[in-house]
């Protein structure tokens, strides 16, 4: 089942990623959607952790990728030499691929496999340009002596007058 988002996208700009995300969520429901089991935890306001149970998988059997705002975790079937005949298989060790959609300004800070649990650490990073800034308020007389040009919403710097050439600003980070 697929939805046609064309009527919505005619009057919206920059929402194509959202439409693709919804379409993928509806159409990509694999048969084994519950394998492997996982938890998503929020440990602080901007820190998240995905913990996935991967019994039987080793470090070389797991691949963690970050592509196009998606966290992709793949597991390849481990090849194990058997000393004897397997009478019952109760531990699932099938190949898998699990995808998690990530918000903008999110970074994966690490992945750790310990005691059969893969833990992927994720942190949301707010860029300086998106953080709230205090704009100074001046009195009427002080405003005449100060630069009275409007502030840009993106940089909190005065906007140059029309027809004025502007040299790029160099900021120390």
Take residue 29 and report the two structure tokens written for it: 């429901």
Q: 66-116, pLDDT tens digit by residue?
A: 998 889 999 998 776 667 887 887 877 789 999 998 888 889 999 999 999
**Does residue 116 share a domain with residue 50?**
yes
In a domain, 62, yes or no: yes
**Does residue 114 share a domain with residue 50?**
yes
**Does residue 68 share a domain with residue 40?**
yes
**Does residue 23 share a domain with residue 106?**
no
The answer to whether 132 and 122 are in contact (CB under 8 A) is no
pLDDT at 47: 92
Which domain does 19 fall in, by range? 1-30
**Does residue 99 share a domain with residue 66?**
yes
Q: 139-151, pLDDT tens digit by residue?
A: 887 655 555 555 5
pLDDT at 53: 94
- What is the chain's Cα-based Rg? 25
pLDDT at 104: 86
Between 27 and 153, whose confidence is greater? 27
pLDDT at 150: 55
Strands (E), the chain: 38-44, 47-53, 62-67, 70-75, 96-101, 106-114, 117-124
User: 89: exposed, middle or buried (C-beta count within 10 Å: 0-12, 13-18, 19+)?
Assistant: exposed
Interatomic CA distance for residues 53 and 115, integer angstroms? 9
Interatomic CA distance for residues 118 and 12, integer angstroms? 39
In a domain, 147, yes or no: no
pLDDT at 112: 96
**Does residue 103 share a domain with residue 42?**
yes
Compute the mean pLDDT over every residue in the chain, rounded to the nearest whole number.
76
Q: 18-72, pLDDT tens digit by residue?
A: 666 666 666 655 545 678 999 999 998 889 999 999 988 889 999 999 998 889 9
In a domain, 24, yes or no: yes
**Does residue 99 share a domain with residue 18?**
no
In a domain, 15, yes or no: yes
| Threshold 0.85, pTM exceeds | no
Distances (CA, A) of 59 to 52, 120, 136, 141: 13, 13, 54, 68
pLDDT at 71: 93
Question: What is the pLDDT averaged over residues 164-169?
Answer: 49
**Does residue 102 share a domain with residue 65?**
yes
- Given a cut of 50, whether residue 152 has pLDDT beyond it is yes
């Amino acid at each position: 089942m697929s939805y046609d988002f064309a009527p919505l996208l005619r009057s919206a700009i920059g929402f194509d990623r959202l439409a693709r995300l919804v379409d993928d969520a509806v159409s990509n429901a694999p048969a084994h959607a519950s394998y492997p089991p996982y938890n998503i935890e929020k440990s602080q306001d901007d820190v998240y952790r995905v913990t996935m149970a991967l019994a039987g998988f080793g470090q070389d059997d797991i691949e963690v990728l970050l592509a196009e705002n998606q966290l992709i975790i793949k597991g390849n079937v481990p090849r194990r030499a058997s000393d004897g005949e397997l009478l019952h298989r109760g531990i699932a060790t099938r190949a898998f691929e699990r995808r998690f959609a990530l918000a903008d300004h999110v970074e994966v800070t690490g992945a750790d496999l310990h005691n059969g649990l893969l833990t992927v650490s994720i942190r949301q990073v707010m860029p300086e340009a998106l953080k709230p800034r205090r704009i100074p308020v001046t009195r009427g007389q002080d405003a005449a002596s100060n630069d009275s040009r409007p502030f840009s919403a993106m940089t909190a710097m005065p906007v140059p007058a029309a027809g004025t050439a502007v040299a790029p600003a160099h900021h120390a980070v």
